[in-house]
A and B are shown apart, each in its own frame.
Chain A
Amino acid sequence: MSSARVLVGTRKGAFVLTSDGKRKKWDVSGPHFAGWEIYHVAASRADPDRLYASQSSGWFGQVIQRSNDGGKTWAPVGNKFTYDGVPGTHQWYDGTAHPWEFKRVWHLEPSLNDPDTVYAGVEDAALFRSADGGQNWEELSGLRKHGSGPRWQPGAGGMCLHTIILDPVNPNRMYIAISAAGAFRTDDGGKSWLPINQGLKSQYIPDPNAEVGHCVHKIAMHPSRPDVLFMQKHWDVMRSDNAGDLWHEVSGNLPTDFGFVVDVHAHEPETVYVLPIKSDSEHYPPDGKLRVYRSRSGGNEWEALTKGLPQENCYVNVLRDAMAVDSLDTCGVYFGTTGGQVYASSDAGDSWEAIVRDLPAVLSVEVQTLS
């Protein structure tokens, strides 16, 4: 019988939640790496028992952990992230040049077919790859050395590379996103990169056609249609039908077009989920009501999903890596909040319940569908 395993990264450790295919009763294990910030826990699709976790601390820096048994036990692997060559500078908040400095790993993306190959998106923004299960890391420096690098600048959360999407059809194609540089695509396995930000309009950039500088919060793709991308930008929900060559806005009737997460239904490539957040300075749900919005038409027309979610006095945030979908027959949708709840829907968003409460602030949520 199929089952689900939810991997939760929080400000104070990692948690692993497991359930059968009904997804009604959940066992919670953790905290793993108690007291450390866990920006992301990710699972290999080639070997579901192979997990990677990014463990970091303002005191002790970066550690990468690996599990070979689905999160029961963990062992540290390599944590040496050295930029290729002289790192150079990017823009600082005040517009001055600032040297590239490694701070932490935001996102881990295991290869689709090799459990030992995994990509890491880091702050200050760069992409690294390990081909030996995380022991050694090498920068794919064609990205950082793209000519626009000196013009990248940090968002409020730091200059992070937070999204890595591997094309399931074309092994040489991958997408990444950086806050606040924008989205990039490689068609040659990471050697060279193309900014894919045409159509994005950002109020804080005077040039409406700026090549870089956009604060992309998250990108999602359905594996059956790798050329169709959905983006939650700082403001605006966007869609591209040509692998990022051109974007158009699909915010439609959302109560606010600001937010962090975006994801796509596992079986319906035109069904998209976002979670609007009030901006620019408050960063909690509008009117204190926690609402997921679902579009069944690939954007523009959105319906509020509220059943089981708090509809008063809710002032949490949902961060960019904190939504995921499973691929069970009725698609499960999951998200975690800065208030420490992980909410799940086993009916594609129609109804929700908290499958765990009172965790530390949730930074990331991933889910595995296990058979």
Chain B
Amino acid sequence: MIRVVLPHHLRTLAQVGGEVQLQVEGDATPRAVLDALEARYPVLRGTIRDQVTHQRRAFLRFFACQEDLSHESVDEVLPSAVASGEEPLMIVGAIAGG
């Protein structure tokens, strides 16, 4: 089971309280996690990555195990601590704006 932490506005949109727990088939890559997340919460389609190009939205970052994974390939396998559920994958909104 993979744990995902969403930013506040996306938790509200998806109507979830805390972390989201997802069953991911195959390798635990960012792409697979996002596929599973969007399959379970269709309302999140387009809010984290573009619906057509699947490009990560510019003001969002993917953090895990104290590392910024945003610029890694979305097909790179996530750290084993994330895959095992020991650590969450954090989807973080950039600090900006008023």
Contact = CB atoms under 8 A, between A and B. Distances in A.
A binds B: yes
Interface of A: 35-36, 57-63, 76, 79-80, 82
Interface in B55-98: 57, 59-60, 93-94, 96-97
A80 B49 CA distance: 12
Interface of B is mostly: loop
Contact of A76 (B13, B51, B59): B13
B13 A61 contact: no
Given A36-B9, A59-B57, 14 more contacts: A35-B9, A57-B9, A58-B96, A60-B9, A60-B57, A60-B60, A61-B47, A61-B50, A63-B43, A63-B46, A76-B43, A79-B45, A79-B51, A82-B52
8 A-B pairs with the lowest CB-CB distances in the bound complex, closest first = A60-B47, A59-B59, A76-B43, A59-B93, A80-B51, A79-B46, A61-B46, A61-B47
B14 to A, nearest CB: 10
B9 A62 contact: no
Nearest to B50: A61
Q: Which of B47, B48, B93 has the most CB of A within 10 A?
A: B47
Interface residues of B, number: 20
15 contacts: A59-B7, A59-B57, A59-B60, A59-B93, A59-B94, A60-B9, A60-B47, A60-B48, A60-B57, A60-B60, A61-B46, A79-B45, A79-B46, A80-B45, A80-B46
B13 A59 contact: no
B36 interface: no
Interface of B: 7-10, 13, 43, 45-48, 50-52, 57, 59-60, 93-94, 96-97
Contacts of B47: 60-61, 63
Contacts of A80: 45-46, 51
A36 B94 CA distance: 15
B51 A59 contact: no
Contacts of A35: 8-9
Contacts of A79: 45-46, 51
Contacts of B46: 61-63, 79-80
A76 B96 CA distance: 25
Nearest to B57: A61
B62 to A, nearest CB: 14
A82 B45 CA distance: 13
Contacts of A59: 7, 9, 57, 59-60, 93-94
B55 to A, nearest CB: 11
Nearest to A75: B43
Contact of A82 (B7, B13, B51, B94): B51
A7 B94 CA distance: 30
Contacts of A76: 13, 43
A57 B58 CA distance: 12
A309 B31 CA distance: 54
Contacts of A62: 46
B78 to A, nearest CB: 22
Contacts of A61: 46-47, 50, 57
Which residue, A35, A58, A59, A82, has most C-beta atoms of chain B within 10 A?
A59
A128 to B, nearest CB: 14
A60 B52 contact: no
A240 to B, nearest CB: 38
B37 to A, nearest CB: 14
Contacts of A58: 59, 96-97
A82 B7 CA distance: 26
